[in-house]
Structure 1
């Protein structure tokens, strides 16, 4: 029972981090008006947040293996709280970027800290399911930043909305400090005994990176996450409202559906990975193919796509988040628990690096293909912008296939080396 309490505290901290991360997604139009910026500069806010998040993953992974989840979750929550306070009063783009950087640094400390809690508190056979549940239930933070934030921005205004977000962050920090423990006491005793009497283990980033399974996890995360992530984080709402002409409330409901669908698919994918671990990469490639196909139909549809087709697109994108969690399962499978932070940090760079590229590319292309003085980008501009995804899908799928083969050869070689003479 205690392991579920520890996991629930970490899960709440992660859900609040996702809320902070996603809060700009539905506030994009208001942010552009408040700060007086175009789409390219608006994308800079998300890029700054994502770039810091990605850049901090490996350093945070090293710190996590040294200091544990409790300290990093508390520090990350405090940084995100500070970022939302600054963002609440930001009146220029420089201050807003600084606020999103603080949120990005704090966010970087959160998810992999919770994954370490899962690795330390749950047996290996339960890890795939618990990782999926962590990723998907944590996305409830995105759900709470969709419809509720739209209503708050409309009725309470910018400053009150983001002050409320900061208050939510304060609650999470206090709960972590009061309730969370890094690992069971029995695990601490066993680790100390192993360190004293057992052979030295290969620790550090170099040994995590040397295993092709870690790199397979990185490219899995790269190729599965970016499409759904960027859609939810920044460009989905403008695409639906300005490009496809949906009402703001309808667009917010579709973004909420992105989260709800992930809650359904996450446990199913976790169960699949636990039962059929040698077919995880096949599932990854299937997710990539389905995402590309759904986008192809929407982008080639003559005129504005009907609501049912946009709903299908969103439903397909709901699998992106759970699919990216498979990358962390690879990190756990091929690394011992005491270097899981660094390995998870390596994997987590993948999807956010791809998301940064896509956020920048979409913003630049929208600016280039939007006529001077136009109120907002056209549907044609959005289509050209989202077509950049195909380059990322191709690059990622090739690398997943490559490292799948390399990892399987490494597993076969390790089994042969361990076989009796």
Structure 2
């Protein structure tokens, strides 16, 4: 019963957050047609969600550690609802951006509030699996932003969809306020805000934190950008698939994304219990495979678009295990700030990747059906190089860190 009270309200909020994040992948054609957006405009519009999300992560960590997940997330979700209303009523790119910024701010606590609650209420050994279940909820939200959203557009337009989302978001806020327990099992007196920000600086100076953070941020940001926007255009322009077939493959990709979150979480928990293998080691292994799978996209994929999206969906989830790895390393009173600092880097990475891919694609002349396939090769090539640099930095950090055994 306690697990249900904690998990289901947080899962609902995160599912909504993921739907918001990925919805533009389906409605991008409508936005381009109705408002005349170019690829760089589309990349900017979709990525401003990430920048507002990212900017709020440092104060969010302090709020979570000070006031708890219940009050923090339930209030912030009301800003997301307001953003959805403004997005639905927008008549220009600037109006869409304002709405999207508020949505990003409003859902900025949906994952971190859950991770904070789980750290407080459950043992650290269970965190990889429970965090994985939280990510499954996000995957279900992403699933809703594929074929179900495509079908919904047969009955209403994108404006109607976002108006409905505003009401659902308010409902989620109420559920969090009513059902999520307030007691956080913290007996000591709350530290001052000055001390909390000083402790945040300690995290930022930590060699342990910076050993894996760059790779995790770039890998996770790339996964968000590809899955949330650029996979469907790639399937259309490079693989030559129709809009319906592309939506079906996005659906399949999201299913494997859900499977990856759950499976890797279970594997990490079992390996930790049986062989004392840390989640970060499993995460690095998965992110390395993810990097190589992306590399095949430079050359048009691996033959079958279905196999490609399955591999991308599954191994694109590997970076999430870093959060559980940090939770096992840093003290509980810092858990909110550690997670949100990493999340800041992840969403800054997602912002740069999503907008940057659009900017690179726009360097090539548009084709009659979309964008030049060579432009995708260049954009993905840059992403692969960035992730390779992050992997090399991680390997170097194992040798230069005085606490390398913790990273392993």
Structure 1 residues 337 and 361: alpha-carbon distance in aligned structure 2, compared to 1, 3 A threshold: same
Structure 1 residues 321 and 350: alpha-carbon distance in aligned structure 2, compared to 1, 3 A threshold: farther
CA distance in 2, matches of 1:241, 1:280: 36
Structure 1 residues 108 and 354: alpha-carbon distance in aligned structure 2, compared to 1, 3 A threshold: same
CA distance in 2, matches of 1:321, 1:92: 33
Contact 2:132 2:261 in 1 (8 A): yes
Counterpart mapping for 1:289-328 below 5 A: 289-301=288-300, 309-328=304-323
The reply on whether 1:399 has 2:393 as its aligned counterpart is: yes
CA distance in 1, matches of 2:36, 2:89: 15
CA distance in 1, matches of 2:324, 2:404: 16
Question: How far 1:321 sits from its partner (Å)?
Answer: 4.5
Question: How far 1:298 sits from its partner (Å)?
Answer: 3.3
CA distance in 2, matches of 1:127, 1:341: 14
- 1:60-104 deviation line (CA, Å, top 9, x unaligned): 111211111011211221111111111111110000000110011
Contact 1:35 1:93 in 2 (8 A): yes
| Runs of 5+ unmatched residues, structure 2 | none
Structure 1 residues 220 and 11: alpha-carbon distance in aligned structure 2, compared to 1, 3 A threshold: farther
Contact 2:287 2:316 in 1 (8 A): no
CA distance in 2, matches of 1:132, 1:160: 32
CA distance in 1, matches of 2:265, 2:358: 34
| Runs of 5+ unmatched residues, structure 1 | 414-421
- 1:90-123 deviation line (CA, Å, top 9, x unaligned): 1100000001100111121221011111111111
Question: How far 1:397 sits from its partner (Å)?
Answer: 0.7
Structure 1 residues 229 and 53: alpha-carbon distance in aligned structure 2, compared to 1, 3 A threshold: same
Structure 1 residues 182 and 19: alpha-carbon distance in aligned structure 2, compared to 1, 3 A threshold: farther
Question: How far 1:40 sits from its partner (Å)?
Answer: 0.6
Counterpart mapping for 1:129-148 below 5 A: 129-148=129-148
CA distance in 2, matches of 1:217, 1:182: 33
- Say which of 250, 261, 267 aligns to 1:266: 261
CA distance in 1, matches of 2:108, 2:83: 13
CA distance in 2, matches of 1:88, 1:355: 24
The reply on whether 1:339 has 2:303 as its aligned counterpart is: no
- Say which of 215, 225, 228 aligns to 1:233: 228
What's the C-alpha RMSD, in Å, of the aligned pairs?
2.5
**Structure 2 equivalent of residue 242 of structure 1:** 237
- 1:342-381 deviation line (CA, Å, top 9, x unaligned): 110111123222222221221112111124x855212222
The reply on whether 1:385 has 2:379 as its aligned counterpart is: yes
**Structure 1 equivalent of residue 10 of structure 2:** 10
Counterpart mapping for 1:19-418 below 5 A: 19-184=19-184, 187-188=185-186, 190-191=187-188, 204-274=199-269, 275-276=271-272, 278-301=277-300, 309-371=304-366, 374-405=368-399, 409-410=402-403
CA distance in 2, matches of 1:221, 1:234: 20
**SS of equivalent residue, structure 2 residue 317:** helix
Structure 1 residues 321 and 244: alpha-carbon distance in aligned structure 2, compared to 1, 3 A threshold: closer
TM-score scaled by length of structure 2 = 0.90
CA distance in 2, matches of 1:201, 1:299: 45
Structure 1 residues 53 and 283: alpha-carbon distance in aligned structure 2, compared to 1, 3 A threshold: same
Deviation above 6 Å: which 4+ runs of structure 1?
200-203
Contact 2:298 2:377 in 1 (8 A): yes
